[in-house]
Amino acid sequence: MPAQGIHHVDPAVGDVDPDGFRIEVFCWPGTRTGRDRKGARDPRPTTFSGMHASSTSALELRGLTKRYDDGTLALDGLDLDVPAGSFFGLLGPNGAGKTTLISSVCNLIRISEGEALVFGRPSYCLDARRQIGISEQEPNLDRFLTVRETLVYHGGYYGMEKAEAEERAEQMMGVFDLRGKRDVRAPKLSGGMKRRLLLARALLHEPRLVILDEPTAGVDVELRHELWRYIRRLHEQGTTILLTTHYLEEAEALCEEIALIGRGEIVARDTAAGLKERYEADTLEQVYLKTVANHLFAEDEAERREPTETEGAEAV
Ligand code: ATP
């Protein structure tokens, strides 16, 4: 199924990028088409013609804010740059806002305020979406599709010709050792096989930015090493990797830079060595415990909380 979209070209902006190729932006019907920090709909069509072609960031987040319908403020004006070609770790406790950040970038949820640029283009445009491959924390495979169909349909979704998608699906089944399960539907795969299929699907359309939300959660040691070998190779070939994980040693071994997120804000960002030096810690775990660990926030909350009547009476 080819990607559907409205094709906007603004001749006034000029239509040739510095390399001589025309960059045209497809925006999904119903998505925001202009930048508006309050999130209001701007009906103007958007065209970016080489505007950001020299950008060196794979991802730029500016004032990213997400308030869920129930009032929870999950991202609080967050700024972050992920350099193109880097292996970047995003670490934080449960509920810190990692998945919300990723979901915002991938247009799985609506941003309340701020903007997200992917290789210089607004993340809600199809042109930017094509650059992203995501392996989500919760396996979200279609239960009615076989392994092969999952991959081929994904290629179609990203606008690949059927023959190209089929060829690429064969390659990915080979890389992730899924050929033996090609005709098996998702519910009949083991947890590890589902993880492999999620990764194969994320990489099928050869994205330049791969986002991995806890890709090794619940995966055995052997498969974990296998996945990391593959991700490392991918990174060596120039793909930008954004990883969230609760395995701090894993982050330290793999990531060139790490950002620590707590309560919807970036608290610190550096190399693992730089973080340890700054926080006078021997391990990344100690840095984590000194900066973003949930108990710090719990203490904060307790200090800020007004004493109840009984507590006040006891104090007297
Ligand atoms: P984990 O490491 O446990 O996956 P996380 O860092 O990914 O956590 P998020 O899932 O982004 O954290 O959650 C951030 C905050 O937003 C939490 O307080 C969470 O309860 C809240 N939240 C997440 N999804 C929703 C939703 N759909 N509606 C309301 N609140 C939500």
Are the C-beta atoms of 50 and 16 separated by less than 8 Å?
yes
Among left, alpha and beta (phi > 0; psi -120 to 50; other), residue 72 is beta
Measuring from atom 13 of ligand 1, which residue has the nearest CA?
Answer: 95
d(CA 238, CA 87): 10
Taking the CA of residue 264 as reference, the ligand 1 atom at the shortest distance is 14
Q: Exposed (0-12), middle (13-18) or buried (19+): which is 19, by Cβ within 10 Å?
A: exposed
Which residue segments constitute the domains of the chain, with CATH numbers given?
15-131+207-267 (3.40.50.300)
Is residue 96 within 6 Å of ligand 1 at its C-beta? yes
The one-digit pLDDT tens for each residue of the chain (316 residues) are 333 332 222 222 222 233 322 223 333 223 333 333 333 333 323 333 333 334 589 999 999 999 999 999 999 999 999 999 999 999 999 999 999 999 999 999 999 999 999 999 999 998 899 999 999 888 889 999 999 999 999 999 888 999 999 999 999 999 888 999 999 999 999 988 999 999 999 999 999 999 999 888 878 888 888 888 889 999 999 999 999 998 898 899 999 999 999 999 999 999 999 999 999 999 999 999 999 887 676 656 655 555 555 554 544 3
150 Cα–ligand 1 center, Å = 28
